[in-house]
Amino acid sequence: MAWTMTASDTKNTTKGYMTLGGTDVGAELNLPLTLCTTVGGTYGTIAEYQTALAGSAGYGTVSTFNIPLFVKQTLLASDGAGTYSITLTYVVTPGT
């Protein structure tokens, strides 16, 4: 059974950024969240993570698939105090 999977941040104006309350309304951190699929690998945007994930062994061909996710958030002195969050949504689409 073939399948595809997408990882996305469903916010509109602050896509890729951790925000206060995790919504478009909350203030965002100055730098976007970066993601990676391997320990010691190169961190990148959500789109770059999706591309790397699609290149993982077993992607799209096996019925059980581990989703590797390593996250890095760089903070700046100008970032405001608060509880910031982001929700990544994974959607799997069956193939033919």
Closest CA to 75 of 21, 24, 18: 18
Domain boundaries, the chain: 18-74
How many helices (H) and strands (E) the chain has is answered by 1, 6
Whether 32 and 69 have beta carbons less than 8 Å apart is answered as no
Q: How does pLDDT run across 32-53, given as a tens digit for each residue?
A: 999 998 888 899 998 898 888 8
Task: Look at residues 30, 28, 32, 41 and name the one whose alpha carbon lies nearest to residue 70.
Answer: 41
pLDDT in tens, 6-31: 888 989 999 999 999 888 888 999 99
Q: What is the model's pTM?
A: 0.78
Q: Give residue-wise pLDDT tens across range 48-60.
A: 988 888 888 888 8
Distances, alpha carbon 11 to alpha carbons 26, 35, 41, 56, 64, in Å: 11, 17, 26, 26, 28
